[in-house]
Amino acid sequence: MQLRPDQLAAQLAQLDKPLAPLYLLHGDEPLLVIEAGDAIRAAARRQGFEEREVIVVGTGFKWDELFIAAGNMSLFGGSKLVDLRIPSGKPGREGSEALQRYISTLGPGIVTLITLPELDWQAKKAAWVTALSNAGVSIECNAPPPARLPQWIAERLARQQQSAPREALAFIAAHVEGNLLAAHQEIQKLGLLYPPGEVSLAQIEGAVMNVARYDVSDLRDALKARDTVRAARTLEGLKGEDAAPPLVLWALATEARSVAARPALLHAAKIDRIIKGLARGDIWDEFLQLALRLTQPRTR
């Protein structure tokens, strides 16, 4: 069974139904992976799983440990949660085969939680991943796309009986730059500062810190997406964080070369001379002008 992170709570709340024998967590957003894992562990405790054994797969790991853990019932006579973590996401051939054999041993009294990092498209099609997904519940914990982030923030505010106008949600989203952990912290802060009900834009502006962290990869993403606003905001962030101008120029020039934009390449060469002290000009203003040029809609 495939579930989204926001569907997990409802599935776990069905107290009249036993937990699935296996839960598989993977994705690119640590906050969602942590929350999903915590929710599964809490549900296991509510249903009488009195013991939890954590197993971390590292160099030299012996897969017999997994079978031994599942075979040893709780010391207290109750049920047991086997919490298996594979930080690399690559169990290797031996591990792949062991995980597929392990599925056949699943029985009453044992629930297995397996946590992986983000899986690429090829890994998702691997036989061992498919087998684990089919044996229980698979939850892909990926961050929402930028366009949906304001709605995600609104849903989180609703959990603490708060709401905010559209422009306030957009303000928070812009300031956290896709960092869900930072957004989560700011939402919690609003819950502590203000009572239930609507929180105004002015209140949010006064409370939210600019927690965005910028790097040149963010700038390249904005340029590729032809997102002028995001590119300008990212450049401002890079400037505020004293990013190295040659690195910023590299990102801009790389995009100019990828689209074969000759005027943009000439502009990049001019900026290079400014950086080297061979020409006069405001480096960051030139960066912005070049970014605006590169994010304009392409014409045939």
Does one domain contain both 100 and 194? no
Lowest mean pLDDT among 20-24, 176-180, 232-236: 176-180
Residue range of the domain that includes 107: 2-140
pLDDT band at 155 (very low <50, low <70, confident <90, very high): very high
- For 46-85, b/e burial (b = at least 16 CB within 10 A) is ebebebebebebeeebebeebeebbeeebeeeebbbbbbb
* CATH code of 191's domain: 1.10.8.60
Does one domain contain both 64 and 132? yes
Does one domain contain both 29 and 106? yes
Is the confidence at residue 78, as pLDDT, over 80? no
Give residue-wise pLDDT tens across range 126-146. 999 999 999 999 999 998 988
pLDDT value of residue 214: 73
In the chain, which ranges are E strands?
Answer: 2-3, 22-26, 49-56, 79-85, 110-115, 137-140, 162-163, 197-198
Cβ atoms within 10 Å of 43's Cβ, excluding its own: 21
Q: Strand 197-198 vs strand 162-163: parallel, antiparallel, or unpaired? A: parallel
pLDDT value of residue 300: 46
Q: Is the pTM of this model over 0.85?
A: no
pLDDT > 70: percent of the chain: 95
| Domain boundary residue, one of 96, 123, 140 | 140
Whether 84 is covered by a domain: the verdict is yes
pLDDT value of residue 216: 82
Does one domain contain both 152 and 134? no
Q: How many domains does the chain have?
A: 3
Locate 161 and state its tokens: 């009986």
Whether 300 is covered by a domain: the verdict is no
